[in-house]
Chain A
Amino acid sequence: MRRPFVFAAATLLAACLLWPGWVGAFQSEGTVRIGGMWPLSGPAAFFGKAAHGLASLAVDEINEAGGLVVEGKRVKLALHAQDEACNAEQGLAVVKRLATVDKVIFSLGPGCSSVAEPVFGTLQKKLGDASDSGLQLLFFTDIATKFGLAKLSPWVFRNTPDEPAMYDFVVKYLKEKHPDLKTVMVSYESDFAHSAATWNLAVKPALERHKHHQIVEVVDWRWLDNEFGAQVTRLRKANADVYFSLTHTPSTCPSMLELKRQRVKPKMVIGITSLAGTEVLQQCPDVAAGIIAPSNFAPITPRAKQVADKAWERYKADSNIHSVPAYENVHLMKGLIEKAAIKNTEDTLLADRRKLRDQLAKVGTFQGVVGKITMRPEDDPVKPRDVDKDMILVQIKAAKWDVFWAPEHLKRN
């Protein structure tokens, strides 16, 4: 007699456990809802949690200063963060949740390009096209740097590093300031699109364009490999002056350790942009000492230092090249939301998103944490809806990132 009862109770518990989402009332709390989908668990959690923290800090600052003005009233910002876990299936579900359950006006993220590709690829491709069943949600991305993502939809804008320009500068800098360094060897991760693309679409073209350096060896490995002996032996034999280690921390650390073991000492080591954060300082500060990386962020101005300190203090969030854009984006969007004159009701959500999108498309130049940022227009032939930012070169010294080179106008701040 007890069996059916247990069965029914188990079914009820299962039903409650499986119910995927409780819908909150819209706008009754008097907020403007913004979203963020980041990898808060899984292999990229470090970057996702950092961006989440920086975004939360920006939201806090805005709300503490009184919030924003919508329809003549003061309302607060509410950040709805969702975990995409660096997984495409979860990303596709979560974006719908942000768009239709949390009903956000725009979203930050995603963090992983394997999530960004399907999510952006399923957005509406032509504005106002009724025959396109893609999703209409505005994205202002902070982390995902894969080449060409912003071209996937007019709803995607990005505040991410411009690697071709950054590495072009690096090669030019090397040519002008260290002309005696002529030979170059390169390593990249063949299964990590960002790394392979940094080599093929940023560094290699830059080296070919400036015609100063000779590429003597190119090796590759998998980004989660554990053994680098063969590739480093090739590097040792090449013995070039400059070593472009275009690899992420998980393979940079063990490969640099192997370089040390085999006594390979290039005169200069240039890293990938994503290296410029605390991940590498925690994992291998000694073998990575001296690596120079192009970055958009370092605590070199008082404001930058303040942001980095506050983000760490409040949210234990690391301020780096990928997370600080989240902070910049939220602050910019606050002003744009007010300028867009949104109505902030459930029925006008799509129209509000469109108004905000149009504001972002013509924003031009705005202030970032370290320097100025310029959003390229939609008809830009090279990288529409991507940004140009001031760049700096940072170097690992004494287990910290130091400024190696910064443009004059930033140093004066």
Chain B
Amino acid sequence: MEYYIAIASIIGIHAMLGLSVYLVAISGQMSFGQQGFFALGAYLAGMSTALWGLHLLPALALGVVVAAVVGLLVGFPALRVRGLYLAIATFGFGEIVRLAFLNVRYTRRIGDRVVGPNASEGFRHVRYIYDRGITPLEYLGIILLALAVVVVLFFVLERSKLGATLRAVEEDEVAASMVGINVTRAKVFGFTAAAGVAGLAGGLFVHYSSYIDHDMVALPLAIASVTYPIFGGLGSFVGPLLGAVVLVGLTESLRALHDAREIIYGALIILTMLFRPRGLVDEALVLRVKGWLRPRAVRRPAPAP
């Protein structure tokens, strides 16, 4: 049982990271740097509980706020560029954050331990949930609750004017600006919110693992974070959720294949993308599902004149 709880916990955290990339992606930009905000959230939330004695909720909130503020500061200049330029710029930002934490030393002696980010040694002893006897199942509940809050916000966003604005910006920036949409403000808002979501994922992760270091927020996490929404589909927020479930699930279920595990994993990604080039939950599927859910009355053909 605990094994499945562990898998579900990782799925929950990574789904949130995927949603963070998704939020930037639906305004037409691909960010390869969400792992930088993940790192910020993880280190700040970890320091809050381990060094400054805060409780979990304020710690997570601090992680979210710091990540969002940095997202705002980075977003303004970064969003002046698009496409691959933005991808590289954001990846560069992610690397700057990672390398900064590789060099930061901010420790304090608490009892018999040295606690705090310690450059290449990493940041250990983030024991808030374990010291309080919160079981893995209970913590999974916390992760899923946080994920649910994010999902509800996304759901509301998709239906709201802001969501339409973001998608309009993705479709055609020029047309959107001609209709009076403040394109920059929409993009920066999306980027800031996405940074906050990634920061939340990081804060939840560091308390789950009790440890964070620079190696854990490097290129592999960048690739994973981008894979969830592209593989899962950008049609709706269900896409990155499904992407995380399938991809993390595959990583575990393919263990029986031993050495060929990673090769099969890569091949499955290729095959899936060839059959569903816009991801599992693409726009076409979303439209079809919405059609099913619409009441029949609307779909009756008009009576003949």
Q: What is A's interface to B at a CB cutoff of 8 Å?
A: 14, 17-22, 40-41, 82-83, 87-90, 92-93, 95-97, 99-101, 114, 117-118, 121-122, 124-125, 130-135, 146, 152, 190-193, 196-197
A20's contact among B3, B130, B131, B208, by CB below 8 Å, is which?
B3
**Least distance between B268 CB and chain A CB atoms (Å):** 8
Q: Interface residues of B, CB < 8 Å — how many?
A: 50
CB-based contact B10/A117 at 8 Å: no
CB-based contact A93/B6 at 8 Å: yes
CB-based contact B252/A121 at 8 Å: no
**One of B133-141, B149-157, B190-198 at the interface:** B133-141
Considering residues B209, B258, B259, B262, which has the most beta carbons from chain A within 10 angstroms of its beta carbon?
Answer: B209
CB-nearest residue of chain B relative to A152?
Answer: B124
Inter-chain CA distance A19–B252, complex, in Å, is: 8
Inter-chain CA distance A193–B122, complex, in Å, is: 8
Contacts of B251 in A (CB 8 A): 90
**Least distance between B142 CB and chain A CB atoms (Å):** 13
Inter-chain CA distance A230–B299, complex, in Å, is: 72
CB-based contact B259/A41 at 8 Å: yes
Contacts of A95 in B (CB 8 A): 6
Inter-chain CA distance A100–B129, complex, in Å, is: 20
CB-based contact A18/B246 at 8 Å: yes
**One of B170-178, B213-221, B232-240 at the interface:** B213-221
CB-based contact A96/B3 at 8 Å: yes
Inter-chain CA distance A125–B5, complex, in Å, is: 21
CB-based contact B253/A100 at 8 Å: no
CB-based contact A20/B253 at 8 Å: yes
Chain B 79-115, CB-CB to A under 8 Å as 1, else 0, gives 0000000000000000000000010000000000000
CB-based contact A133/B134 at 8 Å: yes
Inter-chain CA distance A192–B120, complex, in Å, is: 6
CB-based contact A101/B3 at 8 Å: yes
CB-based contact A83/B1 at 8 Å: no
CB-based contact A130/B120 at 8 Å: no
CB-based contact B5/A96 at 8 Å: yes
Contacts of A191 in B (CB 8 A): 102, 120, 214-215
**Least distance between A397 CB and chain B CB atoms (Å):** 33
Contacts of A134 in B (CB 8 A): 130
Query: Known contacts A92-B6, A191-B102, A191-B120: does B133 contact A130 (CB below 8 Å)?
Result: yes
CB-based contact B6/A121 at 8 Å: no
Q: Provide a sorted-by-A list of 7 A–B residue pairs whose CB atoms are within 8 angstroms.
A: A92-B6, A95-B6, A96-B136, A100-B1, A114-B213, A117-B122, A125-B130
